[in-house]
Structures are given as C-alpha cells and as structure tokens.
Structure 1
C-alpha cells in the first residue's frame, strides 16, 4: 500500500475524530516515506489538536522546508511557535505567509492575535482591519478588534465594531456580551445590562458563568438587584473544573470567597499571559536596589494620592526608583510630582509588552512592583515576561493575580493573615501596622453648609462614599434598619450614576423608608470631598468589598468608620485602617454586630464624641498618615526580598518587624 493511500486513510480517521488511528497511519506513511509533505503537515495538525505543540514542531518544520510557500503549513508552524513562546519565529512565519498570500484573511487575523498578545496594539488593530477588508463577514476579526479597542479605553470605537458583529451574528451570545462590555465602558449601564441579559439568555449551558458575571457586574453598578442574589449564588457554586470565565475584580464585590477569587484569577489568566521567560540576573553587587513601579494610573488617581508621599520618601542613597507608566498623561500637578519623585520616569503607553520588559531588563531592575493587579488597564502579560528577578503586587488590587509571575504580595497581618496563603500563589509579606500608605498632605477645601450638600439642618447623618457597585442588598437592608431605628436620620451616599440612585430610592421605599432620607453626593475634586465629608456623623462600610481609600479619607476627616470584616483581602481593609488608628472596637465580624454597633453609636452622642476625639488625635500621631514611616517599612520588605534573592533562596512569606 502506497504512502499516499495510507495518508488518505489517516485523514478519514482524522475527520471522524479517531485521532489515535489517524496518528498511527500518518506515522506509518512517514516510515515509508519520511519526506511525505501531507503526512508531515497532517501529523502536525493532529498534534496541535491534541495540545502537543512541542511534538508538532518537528514535523511542521520539516513540512515547511519541503514546501516553504504552503500557507497551511506556515500557519500551523506559526501557531506552534506562538504556543511555545517563540513569538519572533511565529511572527516571521506570519509575515512570510502574508507575503505569499497577501489576500489570505485568516493569515492577517492570526497575525493580529499574535500582535495583540504581545501588546502591539496598533499593529494588531491594523491586521484585524486588513482581515475585515478581505473578508467583510469575518465575525471573529470584528470581535477581537472591538475587544482590543475596549481594553485600551476606546469603548466608542469598540461599540461600533460590536454593532457590526451583532448584524453578522444577531443570535450570538458573544456579540451581545461584547455590546454590553462597550456600553459599560461608556457608562451606558442600563443599555449594557439589557445587552448582557440577552447574551446570558443566548449562552450555551455550561459556558454561561462569564455571561452571568457580566450581568452581575452591571447590576452591581446599577444597584438593580432583581435576580442578583441568584446570579451571585450560581457563580459561587461554580463546580471544580468549570471556568469562572470572568474578570476577577467583579467577584470581589459579590462574594467573600478567597478560594473562588483565586480560581477566577487563574481562569482569567489562561491565554492572557505570555510564556514566562527566565528571570534576568542583574548585578548582585549593586550600590542601590533598583525598584520599578508599574502602573496605568500615574496621574490624578486614588492610587497615586496614596503613593505619592511614599515615592518621595524613598532613600535615594539605597534605592533607585523608576516609574513605568502606560496610562494617560493628564498634565496635572500630580503627574509632575510623580516625575520629580523618581530617578527615571518611563512613558511606555505605545510600547509592546516585550519592549517594556526588555527596557526594564536593560536597566537591571531588581524588583518590579505591580500597582494594577486585575483592574482596568492592567498588563499581566508584561509581568509574565519577567522584567525583573523579583516581582511584587502592591496596593492596586486586593487579591491574587492568580499566577506565579508575581513572587510576593504586600499586605499586613490583618488584611491578609498568613493562613490565607493557600489562596495566593504569591508569598505574603506583612508590613507593620497597615499596608495602605497615606498622604500627610491632604488638603480640605472650604466646608459648605449642610444644606448646600443636600443634608437637612439637623439629624444624624449616616454616610457611605464607596462606589455604588460595593453596595449589596444585604448591606442596604442593614442601612434601612438603621434609618427606621434612628428618627430624623439620613443616609448620605456617593452616586456614580443616576440610575443607581433611583434604584436605591425604590429599594428604600420597598423597605418602608421615605426615599427622601437618602441623600446623594456626586463626584467632586478631592479637596471638596474632604471638606464635605466632615458633615457625616458615622461612616457605614460595605461588605464584601470594604471602603479602602474612602475609609482613610473619612478617618482623616475625623469621621468614625464602622466595618464588618470578612475573610478576603478586599473585605478586611477598613478593619486594618481602624486598627492602625487605635479604634479596633469599630471592627465587627458579623452583620448583626455591625448593625448593633452602628445603632448604639447613633444613640449615644457622648460615646461617639469620645471616639471622634480619639480619632482626631490619631490622625495627628498615627503612622497611618506618615508616608515616610510606611516607606521605611516598604524598603525593609524590599531588602528582605533582595537578601533572599542574593542568597539564592526561593521567595517565602515573611513579616517586616516593627521599627
């Protein structure tokens, strides 16, 4: 029997899904004729199908030598190189393929996927657009191009491409969910919810967890709670082996489940990271430890409000500080302040991840500090490229990134006890006191009268200035109990969208509370916020996602915070802050105790006044509002990591001793 006949028999098995028989026949044909192109090419395709890219490399390489202008073999070889982390060879294959077949739409599409994966966003968009020019009904190209635009904050452009996709696939779950993603990015939340609901209805069973989370996330922002609890519980019960398939950040505000948070982060990172490079080896006799802080938020942003003083306090004789920015340049005083606070400021917004990693390697950075985690604008693929031998997560994300591309996560003994290590691939490092840095240079504007803030002239003011997505039905029910129990009291809430305000008023009315007792505050500049918040008598925290920066703002303004601490990092930050200012009695562990404590304080003005007096003293004396002290603790943590690296030891959890 000729080799050609054997190959055809193998192909028949292959098409029918009988891979073992097909592989045996392809190998039999190659034993008879090692130079059989079809057998080599089809064996390579089968091995890719099996997930054995490493084994597919040899037959496909040989196939492309035999027929260097064959587009199928080149495409397959490119995919193998990409899966093995050899992006340079993968790109050479794609470029050769496009040169041979310039009108091959899928060649441009797959090239675009490669470019997007390595952070070459503009080139990837160009490749997708060329694919669409050649094949105007290429739905996957529209989808990927739209997602690409949304990922870099160009939601309007993304919306246009998702609308085209919807015309091509009117009954496609991914088209409706993509539309919801773009509308969410544009703040058109009610439209986003409708699109996501439609996507969830169309999603196939067993693959709908991501769609359910998309609906859940928008409902959280809108405080539109119809079906919310059922969705949350459904996601929380995701069985092992089924992908959570959602942005991990969404789950922090819905479920206090550290194990699920880790699973979600791990699932999210599948396909979103580049194959890990070997860590670089900077000089071990460096005069200074070189630190690079990585972020998209190096402008006016909550992260930089907290971090600026720490960056300025670094001991420049012992540390060389680099800031790596891929966010907007807002031309603000904060941006100028940050540039002055470091040795070098690197603007890498237009640079691919590989180029950024190479730049940091060329600078011999010892420790890369990621300030983003899984928040909007993060670049986890950059971390997987190992730009530094030690990589650390800090401040920007209260959870795990879900892979070993971060060696450490910086926290404190309250927010992340060492018994939480099973939920973190990163090794936990404790700073003394509270992990959160804070400014000692906050400036409050002129305080306006209560009436100017929409508050009544008298009566107790409960307040919560957390983003609306942190408010859950359970927490809101407690707040309504408090309003019913405290006559003439009001609940003062931050409102980041008007629909949420209307929904909360309806919920209040359904709970038997006059909706007029909910007072909404819109976004203002920080100075004006710090001035107005002093009108509050008591700040009520949320669970499972606590107040973070908003809690430290309230404490600085002299407003006590009552919190209920959960199990996850995000659910314990306010508790850490309260311990740091000497008010641990305001930290509860059960919703019933949280409600009882808030009510007791509202009914006991003298007790509350005593707490406020202690808080005012703590603001002046606590290390929480001393960025130089926090910086010394951070530096001690970096030195501990550095010493372990010098000694050739693997990362391990440790606590920085109090000075």
Structure 2
C-alpha cells in the first residue's frame, strides 16, 4: 500500500512538473529551465510518452527540430495508432523543413481519425510548403467534406489556391468565411492580403482594410512612459521574418545604422532556426532579442510591456505569421508599421505607417487608418545577398526574352492583360516565368491557359525550375533580357534582384501603394524612364528596350554599380531617416501626453 501511494505521488508530481514546464514555455518565462526539467523526467522515465511529447514540443520551440522529431518519433513507435502522436511528429518535421515526411504523417493521422481537424490543417499546410499546392487544395476539399469550415483551414486553403493561380476563387471563399466569422483576425487578414493582388479599386481595397477594426474588441490599455522627447528610447521590432527572407534584407539598414539614443529589441515570431545566417546577423545588430513564436497573444503583449518598449515597429501587416492580435491592447505607447505590407493594416492601435511620396502621394491619406510618415526618396533600402553571381547577358543567338520571377499569385488577369500586348508587339520574344509554384503541373496548366486566352501560345512561355539557393535563383536572370513588373501588386525584392543582376525592369505606375512600389524603386535607382504612365507606354517601352541590344549590354554591365551608388542602397542615409521618423513619432506622442 505504501509503495502504491508513493508511486501515485511520484506520478502526480511528474505530471505537475510537466504542466509547469509547459506553462513556463508558453508564458515566455523560462524555456531553458523547462527543457532541463523535462529532460530530467525523460531520463528517469524513458518510457513515459507524455513526458517525451512535452520534451518534443519544448525542443521545437527552442529550434532543435531534429531532436524534437527524434523524441516524437519514439512516441509514434509505441503509439502508432494515435493520430495526435502522428500530428505532433508531423509538426516537428514540418518545422525542420521535411515537408514530404510531414505530409505522410499528417495523412496517416487523418486516416486514423478523420474527425481530428488539426491533422487536416497540417496536411494542407505541409503540402503547400512542399510545393504541392494542388494537393493542398485537394486536402482541404477532403476536410470540408467531413467538417464544417473553420477559419484556420480556410486561411491555409486560400494560400494554396493563390499558389495554384486561383486567387479570385480563394477571395470568393474568404468573403463567405469572413461573413461567417466576422471577428476572426487571421481570416479577415488573409482576405485583405489576397485583395492586394486583384483589380478592385484602390478605395474599395482600402475600405476592406478599415473593416479589420471589427476584429479588435478589447479596449486599448497603453502603458505609461516618461514623456521626455529627447531621452533614450527603447524601440521594439516585431516580425515573423527576421531570417533569410525579403524583410530580413530590407531591415538590415534599420538595425545597422542607428543613432546612439536608441535601444533596439527584436521580437521574432518565427520558429527559431539556429543555423539561419540572416537571423544570426540581425540578432547581433540588436541590443536584445526575444523569440516569441511560442507566446500566445496575451503573453506577447506582456513581453513587450515588461521590456519597456516606447515605440514598437511591426514589419508584417497581414502577411503570414503576423502578430497583429497581440497589439489589440496597445502594448507600447507608439506603434508603427513598416516595410513588410503594401497597404494600411486597418488596426486601430497602430498609429503610423512608413511609406514614401511615390507609393503614397499627398492626397491618399484617407485610404489609411494610420498617419503616414514619408521616408523619401524611398521607403525601402535594399541589401543584396553577398553570394549573388556576376551579371551575365544571354547569348547573342538567344531570342528576346522577357521575364518575371514573381509569385504566381501576382500574375492575375490584370497582369496578363498588361503583358500580352508586349508579347504581341515582339512576336519572336519569349516569356520566362519563375515562381515557387509555377512548375507544379496544375499551376503551369492554369497559367498557360490564361496566357493562351490572351493570344500568347504556350510554346512561347518557359517555366523555369525551382532553385535551391539564392545564388542559383539569381543565376537564372542570365536567361532574361527585360523583366516585366506585375500589376496591381508589384514586385519588390524581385525588382531589386533583377536590377542587381543587370536586368532592367519595366513597371506601370499604378493607383495604390502595392501598384506604385515599382515606380518608387526605379525612380530611386535613377531609372525613371522605365516607368510607364499607361498600358500603351508599358508595351512600347518594353518592346523598344528588348530590341536594343547595345543598350541592354550597357545596362547589364552598369546597373549593379548604378544601384549600389543610388539612394536605394544608401544604408546610412536610410537608417538615419528611419530613426528620425521614429523619434518624430515619439516626440509627437510626448507633446500630446504633456498637453
């Protein structure tokens, strides 16, 4: 009897320790200590599946994804019929980038228990990231034959549909889902992100963004701060993309060129990847770094408040991995949005939006819920990858080739209508398309069919293969003479990369931020002659340029130096403007607080 009682007490104590470790990790108060505690339990109780599951979860949060998969795989080995064990393993595999293995585990989990919704969501997500967007849509269709729609699945489904060149269908589904779940922030944000790729009027898209306020129901409770306009201020940078990602390259100048009166703490909401070189570089440029992917919205709110952030700059908007709901109670007295999203956020607690006078000219303020700060001449500063190949020209016998390395979701009807006259004007020309999903058979077929409807034969279109690394990706620009910018959602990183490899980009000056980014980038780089005021001029500029080989040769050898000496790559100047803007926002808050 005594032995049994002691066994029950030990079991109860172990469960309390596991629950305490999970609470500590989720609350952000001690991941390292939680790991140490659970590792000790697993060493003493190696056959306990619950302890090993908790260890796998904590290892994933620490970025040790392979170790997490190892321990969760051992749980599956002893519980092969448990769909939750399969789901846990699949999540760890997905975080390590093992998309196919993750999909296999998620699929098995759905077969073991078709009613287990997380496995369906994971299957859709892993297939999409594993470059099987069509399979992801099929998985979501299968889930919806069993379950009523739920927000997270609809968000993943829409992302997969966008990759499948079915943005319009995805938007229709999202509109119905938002009607059903009107206050779900992620669902409404997915709709807003998708609307940037379509041809609705700028005012209509802005009005849709203002509707995001319906998702913010909690009253703001901004913290009090010393309203001294000239004191050292603590700036927080919140992003899911402080890694090898477009935002990582653009934010580098902000972190590496800042005045002495500013302290910077980064709040990284992507799952840690210890071997990511960009993460390591950005972390070294910050005074503090907090991995917050594991934190729920309330814990992230506390983390920002507890560190005394004066000005918080969020870099995601409604893009994937954003943490906008964590801002609902306004964890910093001043909040701004910058770099990562091409529109207003619609969030009532975000005070400022950093743009420029080209992307958001005077007179467009009414489209934004935030007040605008213009970082002229350009709201961005490009930092190229160190391993970019030297510019290389296509061979003299190569046919004139236009190109786009933008995601397929940007190549909607408006873009095809803009590009088709270019290809008709140069009937011997080809079009090279490269995107993460364009090589998938279903996506390729859809793209070719839509170009075919515009009179462009599929034999003239080359779908370039996926490149495993940045250098290989950039090397494929050697096949392109002239890049074409999509509309109404321009390229950003793709435009800068094309110029860095010596490839000129032709853009159409549009009527909203997303459709004017190309104009801002080209004018800042000194290439305003490549900005077309209308579709007819776009076709003329592109056709004349692709036939002028001497000019193209000069550009191929000279664009990199031209870009490097332009304000678009003036990191010290951009950093100074960015931090002057932060200080200006802070001073405005101080003046209001002291009034």
TM-score by length of structure 1 reads 0.64
User: Could you say if the C-alpha distance between residues 344 and 236 of structure 1 is closer, same or farther in structure 2, counting changes exceeding 3 Å?
Assistant: closer
- For the pair 1:637 / 2:581, whether they are aligned, the reply is yes
Asked if 1:221 is matched to 2:163, the reply is yes
Residue equivalent to 1:433: 377
- Match in the other structure for 1:603: 547
Contact 1:539–1:559, Cα closer than 8 Å, also in 2: yes
Residue matched to 2:71? none
Distance 1:418 1:262, change over 3 A: same
Q: Tell me which structure has the larger Cα radius of gyration.
A: 1
1:464 aligns with 2:408: no
Name the counterpart of 1:372. 316
| C-alpha displacement of 1:559 | 1.5
Distance 1:352 1:443, change over 3 A: same
Counterparts of 1:236 and 1:354, CA distance in 2 = 28
Is 1:473 the counterpart of 2:473 in the alignment? no
Write the distance in 2 (CA, Å) between the matches of 1:567 and 1:323: 34
1:385 to 316, 319, 329: 329
Aligned length: 496
Contact map agreement 1:278 1:386 (CA 8 A) in 2: yes
Which residue of 188, 194, 197 corresponds with 1:250? Answer: 194
**Partners of 2:540 and 2:426 in 1: how far apart?**
12
Offset at residue 507 of structure 1 (A) = 4.4
Residue matched to 2:444: 501
CA contact (8 A) 1:547 1:573 kept: yes
Is the CA contact (8 Å cut-off) linking 2:106 and 2:120 kept in structure 1? Answer: no
Please tell me whether residue 359 in structure 1 is matched to residue 303 in structure 2. Answer: yes
Instruction: Kindly state the Cα deviation for residue 210 of structure 1 after the two structures are TM-superposed.
Output: 11
Q: Is the 8 A contact 1:494 1:523 kept in 2?
A: no
Decide whether the 8 Å contact of 2:243 with 2:276 is kept in 1.
Answer: yes
Q: 1:569 aligns with which of 501, 513, 516?
A: 513
Shift in alpha-carbon separation, 1:450–1:522, aligned structure 2, 3 A: farther
Distance 1:635 1:168, change over 3 A: closer
Q: Structure 1 residues 333-342 or 538-547, which shifts more?
A: 333-342
Residue 230 of structure 1 deviates from its aligned partner by 7.8
Partner secondary structure for residue 309 of structure 1 = helix
Q: CA deviation at 1:362?
A: 2.8
> Structure 1 residue 433: deviation in Å?
0.5
SS at match of 2:236: strand
* More displaced 10-residue stretch of structure 1: 466-475 or 259-268: 259-268
Aligned partner of residue 289 in structure 2, secondary structure: strand
Q: CA deviation at 1:184?
A: 3.9
Aligned to 2:70: none
Q: Secondary structure at the match of 2:592?
A: coil
Q: What is the match of residue 319 of structure 1?
A: 262
Q: How far off is 1:460 after superposition? A: 1.4
Residue 387 of structure 1, CA deviation: 2.0
* Alpha-carbon shift at residue 219 of structure 1 (Å): 4.1
Deviation of residue 294 (structure 1)?
0.7
Change (3 A) 1:163 1:259: farther
Q: Whole-Å Cα distance in 1 between the matches of residues 350 and 129 of structure 2?
A: 28
Of the three residues 509, 524, 529, the one matched with 1:580 is 524
Structure 1 counterpart of 2:426:
486
SS of the aligned residue for 1:648 comes to helix
Query: Residue 418 of structure 1: SS of its match in structure 2?
Result: coil
CA gap 1:309/1:175 in 2 versus in 1, 3 angstroms: closer
Matched residues in 2 for 1:426 and 1:405: separation? Answer: 9
For 2:197 and 2:552, locate their aligned partners in 1 and report how far apart those are by CA, in whole Å: 29
- How far apart, CA to CA, are the structure 1 residues paired with 2:145 and 2:292? 40
Q: 1:543 aligns with which of 442, 464, 487?
A: 487
Cα gap change, 1:636 to 1:552, in 2 (>3 Å): same
Of the three residues 237, 240, 247, the one matched with 1:293 is 237
Question: 1:579 deviation in Å?
Answer: 1.1
Which structure carries more relative contact order (alpha carbon 8 Å, separation 6+)? 2
| Match 1:190 to one of 134, 141, 159 | 134
Specify which of 244, 259, 274 is matched with residue 203 of structure 2. Answer: 259
Q: After the TM superposition, which residues 95-174 of structure 1 pair with which residues of structure 2 at under 5 Å, given as runs?
A: 167=115
Q: Classify the secondary structure of the residue corresponding to 1:647.
A: helix
1:515 to 436, 440, 459: 459
CA contact (8 A) 1:220 1:472 kept: no
**CA distance 1:182–1:250, shift in 2 (3 Å):** farther
How far did 1:238 drift? 12
Alpha-carbon distance change, 617 to 297 in structure 1, aligned in 2, over 3 angstroms: closer
The question of whether the paired residues in 2 share the 8 Å contact of 1:444 and 1:527 is answered with: yes
What SS does the aligned partner of 1:492 have?
strand
| Residue of structure 1 aligned with 2:473, choices 509, 529, 538 | 529
Measured after TM superposition, the shift of residue 512 of structure 1 is 4.8
Superposed CA RMSD in Å reads 4.3
Distance 2:300 2:158 in 1: 35
Answering whether residue 534 of structure 2 is matched by residue 590 of structure 1, we say yes
Question: Aligned-pair distance for 1:166?
Answer: 5.8
Distance 2:567 2:207 in 1: 35
1:448–1:634 distance in 2 versus 1, CA, 3 Å: closer
Find the residue that maps to 1:392 and give its secondary structure: strand
Deviation at 1:324, TM superposition (A): 1.2
Please point out which of 619, 622, 645 is paired with 2:563: 619
> Bigger CA drift: 390-399 or 301-310?
301-310
8 Å CA contact retained: 1:272, 1:380: no
CA positional deviation for 1:343: 1.0
Task: Give unpaired runs (5+ residues) of structure 1.
Answer: 1-119, 121-141, 652-659
Give the match's secondary structure for 1:324.
strand
The DSSP-based 3-state class of the residue aligned with 1:437 is: coil
Whether the 8 Å contact between 1:462 and 1:491 is mirrored in structure 2 is yes
Q: Is the 8 A contact 1:361 1:387 kept in 2?
A: yes
Q: Using the alignment, how far apart are the partners of 2:222 and 2:139 within structure 1? A: 43
Would the alpha carbon gap of residues 569 and 191 (structure 1) be closer, same or farther in structure 2, given more than 3 Å must change?
Answer: same
Paired residues of 2:492 and 2:518 also in contact (CA < 8 A): yes
